[in-house]
Amino acid sequence: MTLPNPWSLTISEAHRLLVNKELSAVELTESVIERIKHTDSKINSFITITEESALESAANADSIISKGEASMLTGIPFQAKDNICTTGINTTCASKMLENFRPNYDATAITKLKSEGAVLLGKGNLDEFAMGSSTENSVFFPTKNPHDLSAVPGGSSGGPAASVSAEQCLFSIGSDTGGSVRQPASFCGVVGLKPTYGRVSRFGLVAFASSLDQIGPLTKNVEDSAFVLEAISGNDPKDSTSNTEDVPNYSKYLNDDIKGLKIGVPKEYFVDEMDSAVASTVRSSIKILEELGADISEVSLPHTSYALAVYYIIAPAEASSNLSRYDGVKFGYSHSESTDIWDALEKTRQHGFGPEVKRRILLGTYALSSGYYDAYYLKAQKVRSLIRQDFVNVFKDVDILIAPSTPTVAFPLGEKTSDPVQMYLNDIFTIPANIAGIPAISIPAGLIKNMPIGVQLMGSHHSEKMLLKTAHAYETAANHGFLKPSI
């Protein structure tokens, strides 16, 4: 029997071959590295490739497998977004401020993956400090969509989404603050999951907006998402917001039986700005779930229209606070040609941060400043509570919500870079889940003019089992499989 190209495998397919000794972890990793070398000059997914250490990790994984001690992720090559700390490997946040920063510790998510025997291939490109929706704000280079090299991959986890789409890794992990896993997953035709806030430790994730940030997986299918989520979840004493819920065996619940499941369709998510073809695709997805036996009903989340404004007050305010640590003194970029300490601080931040990061620091500092705190930040926090309560109320009547992931398919590179507001509107459907702290997943719903589009499912806090089960049932019934790009 002729084996498929190892780089084209899913996690479960690769695991089966590895434990049956039909493929070694070193062979799998070598295949994926060759795939990266063949494709990454076109898409620019990776900032750093760690070939040597990856092959060492793969050899160690083979040793574990030979002893019969393999987990589902042992020997599986993955990429990590470059705002997730990795020992001795540059963690740049795609910023001049941290272009030479090498942490001396791993993020908890990385530690957990390494303990499973997963193989780190390198670090993925992103919008600087995860601030953006197109991965055009990276100080290094923009990443391109594998389905159309003239289009964006989404952001801020554009590198990880593009890398999974182009099959340069078997999975990746990104961060989602306002949709930064789900929006690029939709644009690139992969599965992107934002877990419940606190489900995955944020320790070692370079902070953007601490009350919104969450690490999540990007994978080729829903089953793989379940495997990765299980591996990276769990309580962590190093993260005070980490929750103590037991970690289920998520993949065990993927039985596709959703008869009687109550699915709500929030009417506020079908806005005029949404592409009509996207709306039609979502309606078709709802029909598929209805045919599987789910009970569909229209519901209302009345404060949804305020979510974007709330996010762009709270997130920049938290960013303003979090990014104050980059002063050129303790670590990171430091401007050398200065007259005194205050001049050095000013010039370090002037030259170390890009325009979008500076824009958000200014917005956040203004919202927190004396005389404006009550008018903006405090009011945004109050409206945030109303948005959260909307979800609490609606989940009394339904089990899952279905909505678009994005209002359009991937847009051309450069189209929105001069108009920040148009760029921000790309996150209009993903932001509410972050504000409420609930889990949400984007799964491929097909192609529109040969470009992928995703549909989003949202659940109540800690409902990942039901969310993954519903997503898997939809994925199986839709039967379009992994949306392979032609690259």
Catalytic (active-site) positions = 81, 156, 180
Order across the sheet with 171-175: list the strands. 46-49, 119-124, 77-81, 171-175, 215-219, 191-194, 440-448, 451-459, 400-404, 262-266, 295-299
CA 268, CA 387: separation in Å to the nearest integer?
A: 12
CB 248 within 8 A of CB 370: no
CA 158, CA 136: separation in Å to the nearest integer?
A: 9
Neighbour count for residue 224 (Cβ, 10 Å): 27
CA 192, CA 179: separation in Å to the nearest integer?
A: 10
CA 175, CA 427: separation in Å to the nearest integer?
A: 14
Q: If residue 420 lies in a helix (H) or strand (E), which one and from where to where?
A: helix 420-424
Dihedral angle sign, alpha carbons of residues 396, 397, 400, 402: negative
Place of tokens 């025997």: 117
Two tokens, residue 297? 């009903």
Grouping H, G, I as helix, E, B as strand and the rest as coil, residue 40 is helix
CA distances from 9 to 75, 133, 442 (A): 13, 28, 21
CB 402 within 8 A of CB 285: yes
Q: What angle do CA 103, 212, 314 make, to 5 degrees?
A: 110
CB 443 within 8 A of CB 457: yes
- Nearest one of 212, 138, 207, 216 to 178, comparing CA atoms: 212
Beta-strand (E) ranges in 300-434? 400-404
Grouping H, G, I as helix, E, B as strand and the rest as coil, residue 69 is coil
CA 278, CA 394: separation in Å to the nearest integer?
A: 24
Backbone angles phi, psi at 408, to 5 degrees: -145, 175
What burial class does residue 245 get, using C-beta atoms within 10 Å of its C-beta: 0-12 exposed, 13-18 middle, 19+ buried? middle
CA 480, CA 453: separation in Å to the nearest integer?
A: 12
